[in-house]
């Protein structure tokens, strides 16, 4: 099955926003629910994606396509770009941000942080997710970063197995109170993959 990889652009914002919302498993709705009565969660996310200079920006997204259709997404960036976008700090109640602070602001120093890794359901189990993870490894190499970090819901057994199989280890667990919008229970884990020395380069860490 021929697949092509490309850098995202602003015109992809709506599709990327839809995927981020899906993969967030309720986090986007938890944070943005009723922030605006006139603007939907998808529209708010799309606005974030279209804006350069924030973690959710199209600048940080690679898209995998098959026959002109979106088949995969990798949203990743150096650790020092991970944090609350300005719009979230302005619009979302501080208490809600604080409840997910570990997920929204924590990333290993000197790591490439994977915000979102998604593969279309038809391609799951084909190795495509592993290919996107390899892209993340190459991104880390290009930025001179010796590790990759991410977060996984503790009860997402499939994702946990995938990352453990690819060498990630659990660095820390975070508890999260149960809320209706959140689709997972039991908190989440911060996971880290230390790359082999030969997979990193000498570029300054966190290079834009």
Confidence of residue 32 (pLDDT cuts 50, 70, 90): confident
Of the two residues 12 and 37, the one the predictor is more confident about is: 12
Q: Domains in the chain: how many in total?
A: 1
Beta-ladder partners of 192: 149, 169
pLDDT of residue 17: 97
Alpha helices in the chain (DSSP H): 13-23, 27-32, 41-50, 86-91, 94-99, 101-105, 128-142, 157-165
Task: Establish if 128 belongs to a structural domain.
Answer: yes
What proportion of the chain, given as a percentage, has pLDDT over 70? 92
Instruction: Give the number of residues written for the chain.
Output: 208
Arithmetic mean of pLDDT, 82-101: 81
Arithmetic mean of pLDDT, 203-208: 49
Task: Establish if 206 belongs to a structural domain.
Answer: no
| φ, ψ at 74 (rounded to 5°) | -125, 115
pLDDT of residue 206: 52
Task: Establish if 207 belongs to a structural domain.
Answer: no
Task: Establish if 208 belongs to a structural domain.
Answer: no
Arithmetic mean of pLDDT, 162-173: 96
Confidence of residue 117 (pLDDT cuts 50, 70, 90): very high
Task: Establish if 149 belongs to a structural domain.
Answer: yes
Judge whether residue 202 has pLDDT over 70.
Answer: no
What proportion of the chain, given as a percentage, has pLDDT over 90? 60
CA distances 36 to 64, 92, 112, 204, Å, are: 32, 10, 32, 41
Report how far residue 37's alpha carbon sits from residue 57's, in angstroms, rounded to the nearest whole number. 24
pLDDT of residue 207: 46
CATH of the domain at 20: 3.40.630.30
| φ, ψ at 80 (rounded to 5°) | -75, 0
Contact indicator for 185, 155 with CB cutoff of 8 Å: yes
Task: Measure CA 88 to chain center.
Answer: 16
pLDDT of residue 104: 79
Q: Is 0.85 topped by the overall pTM?
A: yes
User: Please, how many CA atoms are within 13 Å of residue 11, restricted to the half-sphere of its CB?
Assistant: 2
Range(s) of the domain holding residue 140: 4-199
The candidate with the shortest Cα–Cα distance to 116, out of 31, 39, 49, is: 49
pLDDT of residue 169: 98
DSSP H or E stretch at residue 153 = strand 147-153
């Amino acid at each position: 099955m021929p697949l092509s990889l490309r850098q995202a652009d602003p015109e992809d914002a709506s599709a990327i926003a839809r995927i981020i919302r899906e993969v967030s498993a309720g986090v986007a709705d938890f944070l943005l629910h009723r922030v605006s009565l006139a603007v939907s969660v998808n529209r708010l996310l799309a606005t974030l994606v279209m804006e350069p200079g924030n973690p959710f920006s199209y600048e940080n997204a690679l898209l995998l396509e098959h026959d002109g259709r979106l088949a995969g997404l990798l949203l990743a960036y150096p650790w020092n770009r991970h944090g609350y976008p300005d719009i979230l700090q302005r619009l979302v109640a501080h208490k809600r941000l604080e409840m997910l602070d570990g997920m929204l602001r924590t990333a290993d120093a000197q790591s490439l942080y994977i915000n979102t890794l998604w593969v279309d359901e038809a391609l799951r189990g084909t190795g495509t997710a592993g290919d996107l993870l390899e892209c993340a490894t190459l991104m880390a190499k290009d930025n001179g970063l010796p590790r990759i970090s991410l977060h996984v819901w503790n009860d997402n057994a499939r994702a946990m197995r995938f990352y453990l199989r690819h060498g990630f280890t659990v660095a820390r667990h975070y508890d999260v109170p149960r809320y209706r919008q959140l689709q997972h229970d039991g908190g989440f884990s911060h996971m880290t993959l230390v790359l082999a020395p030969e997979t990193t380069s000498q570029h300054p860490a966190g290079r834009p």
